[in-house]
Chain A
Amino acid sequence: MAEPILKVENLKKYFPIKRSLIDTLRGVPQKMVHAVDGISFEIYKQQVFALVGESGCGKSTTGKLIVKLLEPTDGKIYLEGRDVTHIRSKEEILAYRRRVQIIFQDPFSSMNPRFRIFDILEEPLLIHGIGETKAEREELIYKALEMVKITPPEEYVGRFPHMLSGGQRQRVAIARALILNPTFIVADEPVSMLDVSIRAEILELMKELKEKMGVTYLYITHDMSTARYFADWMAVMYLGRIVEMGPVEKVIDNPLHPYTRALLAAVPEPKPERRNIIKELPIKGEVPNAVDIPPGCRFHPRCIYAQKGLCDVEQPQLIEYEHNHWAECHLVGKY
């Protein structure tokens, strides 16, 4: 198989929690939020790799680590085989960002309200020194807007973000990411703030751009249904770890991990005949905080199949149970 575009190895990010001065003097140990706690995956060209999980599972932190908005605590990130974990110099970061871009969740706060659409799209060009004259940049901006179907572009470039609808703003955000012609895009919940009718439009657009421009995506979402529709591969995260990974159909049609099963059971479906059935979810309690991670398998306090003496003691490993289908559970096939 070809070389992966992006490869992540045992990536970790811990955030320190503020201690009081007295605690610091007393030598109370520093507590850490284990936001991302040792994850590895590979993404190949023109793939859409979905990172799915509930809030607080570390999926957005992973995205930020990849675009280098955060420094990892440990682990490695490779872009097209090159180790980019610790690039620091301005030139290196610039060169990296030209290839790796991000689309944020909230199109209402990810744009400067005082910038016109033209300025929003011109900024990345100026930063990266693309287009010598204003006319050249204008051409690129018009092209980018046309690509995301904001037409005619000359009508929109003079507007401010608040003059656009949510869907249009998200399309401008996509244009801003695409204007540098990146190889890799991290899309962090790009449709979760949008109405259903517009959601479909944005997903269609991102799909089309994948084909046309050969972009590869990391699609971060909490929504299994859009992941099924948009992504090829999927990794399910829980408390900073990947608990299951594989092609989307395999994970959704034949989930191996009890957490994946619970997540899938929780997805509402537009089938009114289900309205009189109360289907209890195969999961207990609520997500613990990421400071005091449970020992052993971190899902065991919520798992309805957990075995005493095994799951609460021993940390399971991510194992390939069938071709291309990985899970991190002691009990795969035994529950």
Chain B
Amino acid sequence: MAKNVLEVKDLKMYYFTSKGVVKAVDNVTFNLRKGEVLGLAGESGCGKSSLGFTLLGMPTPPGKIVSGSIKIDGREIVGLPEDVLRKEIRWQKISMIFQGAMNALNPVYTVGYQMVEPLILHKGMSKDEAIDRAQKYLELVGLDPEIVYRYPHELSGGMKQRVIIATALLLEPEVVIADEPTTALDVVVQAQIINLLKKLKKELGLSMIFITHDLSILAEISDRVAIMYAGKIIEIGDSEKIYYEPAHPYTQKLLAAIPRLHEDIDRLEFIPGQPPNLINPPKGCRFHPRCPYVMQVCREQEPELKEIDKDHYAACWLL
């Protein structure tokens, strides 16, 4: 089995707000293997983006890592001082493709200027070397290398997203986190970006965490899938297992809510209610107030993730 490039254990990241402590990431454990795409899915507010930022060692304030461990290529990054994180970890070991390509680029600088900054700062390259390298990566993502001299407003949404992807790959990180990389894009452009990520995965052997709320897009790229609910991973396993033999009632319901293009569906299912407030999550299983199969034990004790099949884990008392 391929080695793990990322190992996350018992990670807790809480937001310390004036209204109380929001347990956005609560006891999350998983591994990412080399060359694999792990999909991370869940409804808005389930903590998936919070988890993404935490993995880069930069939880959004007022968030703080409370406990747990994040090991990238064997190296512990929780507790490292900010300047070490900046110099040695971020972009070099782990990088991020941000949500909303429209806003992730600075409008007053050329594309090249923004791309070469990390190369000059991190790798000590000269400006010409750095531009060369940026152009190589722009070509890799299917863009004209001349784009380094253009400004963001001259590019379309799809082109900007490609620039963001090229920038994330520039320092050849071990792990790339893609946070809703296609959400603001049109269907055709979205499919092209997914194709690009598939190609990069194949050619560069990228190890990637792909965060989205859209299970259809996730299926197009993920080897394994983790489903998050209310700050916890409630099911994780190979894509085929998750999509065709979902074990957790939440996963089952989510999948039944997707309209299919080539199938006639009489009634879509939906999940009544809404995700809980993470300041005071429900006692026991966090899904129990919305679960159709709720039992007494669900209201009292929290289920642990347990292996129900090879490499397929779920946290539910029914199993």
Q: Write the residues of chain A forming the contact surface with B, with a CB cutoff of 8 angstroms.
A: 54-55, 165-167, 195-201, 203-204, 222-226, 228-230, 252-253, 262-276, 278-281, 283, 286-287
Q: List, in ascending order, chain A residues with CB within 8 A of B218's CB.
A: 270
Q: List, in ascending order, chain A residues with CB within 8 A of B259's CB.
A: 200, 203, 225-226, 228-230
- Find out whether the CB atom of B195 lies under 8 angstroms from the CB atom of A197: no
- Find out whether the CB atom of B187 lies under 8 angstroms from the CB atom of A222: yes
- Find out whether the CB atom of A271 lies under 8 angstroms from the CB atom of B219: yes
Which of these, B43, B189, B222, contacts A272 with CB under 8 Å?
B222
Cα A201 to Cα B188 in complex, Å, equals 26
Known: A263-B187, A278-B198. A195 touches B213 (CB 8 A): yes
Q: List, in ascending order, chain B residues with CB within 8 A of A275's CB.
A: 37, 198, 219-223, 239
**Shortest beta-carbon distance from B227 to chain A in Å:** 12
**Shortest beta-carbon distance from B125 to chain A in Å:** 32
- Find out whether the CB atom of B186 lies under 8 angstroms from the CB atom of A273: no
Q: What would be 10 A-B contacts, judged by CB atoms less than 8 Å apart?
A: A54-B186, A165-B274, A196-B213, A196-B258, A267-B191, A267-B261, A268-B219, A268-B220, A269-B219, A275-B221
Which of these, B214, B223, B242, contacts A268 with CB under 8 Å?
B214
Q: List, in ascending order, chain B residues with CB within 8 A of A200's CB.
A: 257-259, 268-270
Report the nearest A residue to B241, measured CB to CB. A272
Known: A195-B44, A199-B257. A274 touches B219 (CB 8 A): yes
- Find out whether the CB atom of B268 lies under 8 angstroms from the CB atom of A229: yes
Cα A165 to Cα B269 in complex, Å, equals 19
Q: List, in ascending order, chain A residues with CB within 8 A of B268's CB.
A: 200, 203-204, 229
**Shortest beta-carbon distance from A265 to chain B in Å:** 7
Judged by a CB distance under 8 angstroms, whether B255 is at the interface is yes
Which of these, B43, B192, B194, B219, contacts A270 with CB under 8 Å?
B219
Q: List, in ascending order, chain A residues with CB within 8 A of B191's CB.
A: 265-268, 281
Known: A197-B270, A200-B269. A272 touches B219 (CB 8 A): yes
Cα A125 to Cα B186 in complex, Å, equals 38
Q: List, in ascending order, chain A residues with CB within 8 A of B215's CB.
A: 196, 270
- Find out whether the CB atom of B258 lies under 8 angstroms from the CB atom of A225: yes
Q: List, in ascending order, chain A residues with CB within 8 A of B270's CB.
A: 197-201, 204
- Find out whether the CB atom of B239 lies under 8 angstroms from the CB atom of A272: yes
Most B Cβ at <10 Å: residue of A201, A229, A272: A272
- Find out whether the CB atom of A253 lies under 8 angstroms from the CB atom of B198: no
Q: Write the residues of chain B forming the contact surface with A, with a CB cutoff of 8 angstroms.
A: 37, 43-44, 156, 158, 186-192, 194-195, 198-199, 202, 213-223, 225, 239-240, 242-244, 253-255, 257-262, 265, 267-272, 274
Most B Cβ at <10 Å: residue of A200, A226, A263, A276: A200
- Find out whether the CB atom of B219 lies under 8 angstroms from the CB atom of A197: no
Q: Is the interface of A mostly helix, strand, loop or mixed?
A: helix
Q: List, in ascending order, chain B residues with CB within 8 A of A278's CB.
A: 195, 198-199, 202
Give me 5 other A-B pairs in contact (C-beta within 8 A), A196-B258, A264-B261, A270-B255 excluded: A197-B253, A228-B259, A265-B191, A272-B243, A286-B156
- Find out whether the CB atom of A54 lies under 8 angstroms from the CB atom of B187: yes
- Find out whether the CB atom of B188 lies under 8 angstroms from the CB atom of A283: yes
Q: List, in ascending order, chain A residues with CB within 8 A of B43's CB.
A: 195-197
- Find out whether the CB atom of A270 lies under 8 angstroms from the CB atom of B243: yes
- Top-5 shortest CB links A-B: A272-B239, A266-B191, A229-B259, A200-B268, A201-B270
- Find out whether the CB atom of A286 lies under 8 angstroms from the CB atom of B158: yes
Known: A266-B191, A268-B216, A275-B221. A224 touches B261 (CB 8 A): yes
Cα A170 to Cα B269 in complex, Å, equals 18
Which of these, B158, B222, B244, B261, contacts A225 with CB under 8 Å?
B261
**Shortest beta-carbon distance from A237 to chain B in Å:** 13
Cα A55 to Cα B270 in complex, Å, equals 28
**Shortest beta-carbon distance from A202 to chain B in Å:** 9
**Shortest beta-carbon distance from B121 to chain A in Å:** 33
Which of these, A166, A195, A225, A274, contacts B220 with CB under 8 Å?
A274
Cα A224 to Cα B190 in complex, Å, equals 14
Cα A273 to Cα B253 in complex, Å, equals 21
Which of these, B37, B187, B199, B213, contacts A267 with CB under 8 Å?
B187
- Find out whether the CB atom of B267 lies under 8 angstroms from the CB atom of A204: yes
Cα A322 to Cα B289 in complex, Å, equals 51
Cα A222 to Cα B156 in complex, Å, equals 18
Q: List, in ascending order, chain A residues with CB within 8 A of B190's CB.
A: 266, 268
Which of these, A222, A265, A276, contacts B186 with CB under 8 Å?
A222
Most A Cβ at <10 Å: residue of B191, B198, B221: B191
- Find out whether the CB atom of B258 lies under 8 angstroms from the CB atom of A263: no
- Find out whether the CB atom of B214 lies under 8 angstroms from the CB atom of A196: yes
Q: List, in ascending order, chain A residues with CB within 8 A of B220's CB.
A: 268-269, 274-275
**Shortest beta-carbon distance from A155 to chain B in Å:** 15
Cα A281 to Cα B189 in complex, Å, equals 10
- Find out whether the CB atom of A197 lies under 8 angstroms from the CB atom of B271: yes
- Find out whether the CB atom of B261 lies under 8 angstroms from the CB atom of A269: yes
Cα A274 to Cα B258 in complex, Å, equals 17
Cα A201 to Cα B272 in complex, Å, equals 8
Q: List, in ascending order, chain A residues with CB within 8 A of B219's CB.
A: 268-272, 274-275
**Shortest beta-carbon distance from A169 to chain B in Å:** 12
Report the nearest A residue to B267, measured CB to CB. A204
Q: List, in ascending order, chain B residues with CB within 8 A of A54's CB.
A: 186-188
Most B Cβ at <10 Å: residue of A166, A226, A229: A229
- Find out whether the CB atom of A270 lies under 8 angstroms from the CB atom of B188: no
Q: List, in ascending order, chain B residues with CB within 8 A of A271's CB.
A: 219, 243
**Shortest beta-carbon distance from A326 to chain B in Å:** 21
